[in-house]
Amino acid sequence: MRGEPGELVKPQTDIAGKYSEIMGVDKSAIQNGRLYEFIDQWIGTPYKFGGLDKDGVDCSGLAFLLEQQVYGITIPRMTSKQINVIKREYEEDLREGDLVFFDFDGKKFSHVGVYLQNGYIVHASSTKGVIIVPLHGAIYKYFSRAGAIVDTLVSAQTE
């Protein structure tokens, strides 16, 4: 990946084109080259509980790696801890990189994705692997909470 974590690099034209089409936005709306290059490398990676590599990754592992490699932020590895490092936000206030949590199988905050833009998230689906889906698609009935990562909460969690 080009640039350093936290650095905003212009996306490659083909990557900007690909993801603007998937999310129904103008190509110019794809600004964060590091984010979309990261997604491009991981898209289609199978789901594997506890996984952290291209052989398989789980939802919290994907969020953990994305935040670290794209934004330079180290969040806890597990979903149950990731929920503690966000400042809750309303859906309409979500920004790129915010965490979005879901309750699957009646378990609170058992799944996490990362907000992109225009109502889309990237997550590691247990059946389809790493995919981009609309938040208001089939997954929405499980939506629980979302918010921005707060650095002060992260450092308190990791100390």
Identified catalytic residue from 16, 22, 35, 59: 59
Among 10, 148, 158, 2, residue whose Cα is nearest residue 69: 2
Q: Which residues have CB under 8 Å from 89's CB, separation 6+?
A: 98, 146, 147, 148
Catalytic-residue membership of 59: yes
Identified catalytic residue from 111, 117, 120, 129: 111
Q: Which residues have CB under 8 Å from 90's CB, separation 6+?
A: none
Identified catalytic residue from 62, 123, 130, 147: 123
| First-last CA distance in the chain | 29
Catalytic-residue membership of 111: yes
Answer for the pair 30, 15: CB distance below 8 angstroms, yes or no: yes
Query: What radius of gyration, in Å, describes the C-alpha atoms of the chain?
Result: 15
Q: Any idea which residues carry the catalytic annotation?
A: 59, 111, 123
